[in-house]
Amino acid sequence: MRTARPLLPWVVWGVAALSYAVAVINRSSLAALGPATQQHFDIDATTLSMFAMIQLVVYAGLQIPVGTLLDRFGATTMILTGGLFMAAGQTIMATVADVWLAILARVLVGAGDACTFISVMRLLPEWFSVRQLPVVSQLTGLIGQAGQLVSVTPLALVVAGFGWTSGFLGVAAIGVLVMILGGFVLRNAPGDGTLAERLTGRVGRLSREARSLGAGEATGAFAMPPPETGMMPVITKRRMPGLGFWDKLRRLVALPGVRLAFWVHFTSPFALNVFILLWGTPFLTGGVGLDSATASGLLNIVVVSSMTAGLLLGPLSSRFVERRVFMNMGITTAVMLVWLAVLLWAGPPPMWLLIVLMIVMPFGGPASMIAFEVARSHTPRSFAGFGTGFVNMGGFIASLLVIVLIGFVLDLQGAGSPDHYSLTAFKVAFAVQIPFWLCGLTMIFVEQRRTKRWMQEHGRRLR
């Protein structure tokens, strides 16, 4: 038992990260199937964008409610609930032909996805030391990105070879298997039992004697005790339903570090999300004119680059805590500049430029994980789930708006179906990303200065 207990945090994390990878598979299951989805349901570009839009609306809209439930019921319950929703959604997606039922399926997928990531992030501080958290967070994102490898190529091949129903039922089956594993492994914190143990009423010795790898260090995300935030009345005072929620949100948003974390997450990941979730394959095949095999190869570069970025940024953000927001801003600026080169290139962009885009753009995903490190440094511990959910809304609000705007602009140009796609139309449509980058970078700069001033006033330093 002496050798097993220190491994338990890594086992719990591994299954939690696997659950997140399954959520990413579900989230991006239409990544390489945009044209196939249009043909399967006989829909235009705006309707296709509704699949992703509804999914992201549900995902973003549930972040704070899920964060509240997370603080109350724990990460294990929320992860397994999310898995159940996603399995149900993909089962419906596999078996219906009506577009509105398919949209309902994406609602369930979005709801399940909303439960998963922030719950996994909530587990990490319970099992790992503060110094380990940036690296473990990036590794979690890396494993999640590996899920995109499944949705980019294998799922597309299964759908092409065995049919729509078999492909999506396979995704649902994977989700069920990981749920069962989670029921026997996941624990909210050292000393807590698994779901299976709680259901049987018998908590095993491994669970009872488990300990965190951060045992013995000061609790919380701060190097010093947090100052009075005015949030304690929200925790201790009974309120009418709904009022406590808005009061918590108001008091949380009053902290400049939390607002900074929101804008960091808003700005860096949306280009990657938009490309992977929906518009990457149509742009490469219908716009640039590549064949499906070449487009899939480029999407695989996206995923591998994102995983590599996670490996690099984890240690860097852990070592250079004071510079992590500037890392995010630098990466976002690089993504914007490469996209501008693609959009302004006369005619089809050359393959070397597309490869550069596929390598640079994915860094925005791991860079967005820095937002959760910022949030952890400024959110009271009892509000960890609530705060993580609020910050996580940022990137997906931006992704949602850009996805919908691209579909809308394509339709305005009469290029809303695979038969009418054109490179010029896609370049105009993808230009809608530019104001989102400029707005986000401006707000990061503003909130960074406000946060620095707030910390100086309260005698704080980051950890």
Residue 213: inside a domain: no
Residue 366: inside a domain: yes
pTM of the full structure: 0.71
What burial letters (b/e) apply to 362-382, b meaning 16+ CB within 10 Å?
Answer: bbbbbbbbbbbbbbbbbbbee
For the chain, percent of residues with pLDDT exceeding 90: 30
Select the highest-mean-pLDDT range: 34-38, 119-123, 136-140, 459-463: 119-123
**Among 195-199, 243-247, 298-302, which is the least confidently predicted range?**
243-247
Q: At which residue do the structure tokens 């799922």 appear? A: 155
3-state DSSP call for residue 163? coil
Please give the Cα distance from 437 to 270 (Å, whole number): 9
What mean pLDDT is predicted for residues 168-175?
92
The pLDDT-based confidence of 459 (bands split at 50, 70, 90) is low
In this predicted structure, the answer to whether residue 393 has a pLDDT above a threshold of 90 is no
User: How high is the pLDDT of residue 3?
Assistant: 42
Amino acid letter for position 429: A
Which of 317, 308, 288, 318 is CA-nearest to residue 362?
A: 308
Radius of gyration of the chain (CA): 22
Residue 243: inside a domain: yes
What mean pLDDT is predicted for residues 309-313?
81
Amino acid letter for position 290: L
Q: How far is CA 407 from CA 44, 49, 109, 175, 403, in A?
A: 9, 6, 21, 30, 7
Q: Spell out where 146-261 has E strands.
A: none
Tell which wins on pLDDT, 438 or 146. 438
User: How high is the pLDDT of residue 242?
Assistant: 47
Query: What are the tens digits of pLDDT across the range 67-108?
Result: 888 888 889 999 999 999 999 999 999 898 888 898 899 899
**Among 82-86, 233-237, 298-302, 445-449, which is the least confidently predicted range?**
233-237
Please give the Cα distance from 138 to 302 (Å, whole number): 16
Q: How far is CA 167 from CA 51, 55, 340, in A?
A: 18, 19, 36
Please give the Cα distance from 260 to 412 (Å, whole number): 35
Q: How many domains does the chain have?
A: 1
As a dihedral over the C-alpha atoms of residue 105, residue 249, residue 459, residue 236, rounded to 10 degrees, the angle is -110
Residue 228: inside a domain: no
Q: SS in 3 state form for 328-377?
A: HHHHHHHHHHHHHHHHHCCCCCCHHHHHHHHHHHHHHHHHHCHHHHHHHH
User: How high is the pLDDT of residue 1?
Assistant: 41
Residue 217: inside a domain: no
**Among 215-224, 337-346, 401-410, which is the least confidently predicted range?**
215-224
In this predicted structure, the answer to whether residue 294 has a pLDDT above a threshold of 50 is yes
* CATH number for the domain that contains residue 447: 1.20.1250.20
Residue 402: inside a domain: yes
With a CB cutoff of 8 Å and minimum separation 6, the contacts of 258 are 252, 375, 378, 379, 387, 390, 391
The pLDDT-based confidence of 404 (bands split at 50, 70, 90) is confident
Residue 218: inside a domain: no
**Counting beta carbons within 10 angstroms of the beta carbon of residue 455, is it exposed (0 to 12), middle (13 to 18) or buried (19 or more)?**
middle
Tell which wins on pLDDT, 349 or 51. 349
What mean pLDDT is predicted for residues 425-433?
94
What one-character DSSP code corresponds to residue 225?
Answer: P
Residue 199: inside a domain: no
The pLDDT-based confidence of 458 (bands split at 50, 70, 90) is low
In this predicted structure, the answer to whether residue 19 has a pLDDT above a threshold of 80 is yes
Please give the Cα distance from 381 to 205 (Å, whole number): 28
What one-character DSSP code corresponds to residue 194?
Answer: P
Please give the Cα distance from 441 to 448 (Å, whole number): 10
In this predicted structure, the answer to whether residue 359 has a pLDDT above a threshold of 90 is yes
Tell which wins on pLDDT, 463 or 378. 378
3-state DSSP call for residue 207? helix
Give residue 356's Cα distance to chain centre: 23
Domain that holds residue 363: 5-194+239-458
In this predicted structure, the answer to whether residue 276 has a pLDDT above a threshold of 50 is yes
In this predicted structure, the answer to whether residue 140 has a pLDDT above a threshold of 80 is yes
Half-sphere exposure of 18 (CA within 13 A, CB side): 18
The pLDDT-based confidence of 145 (bands split at 50, 70, 90) is confident
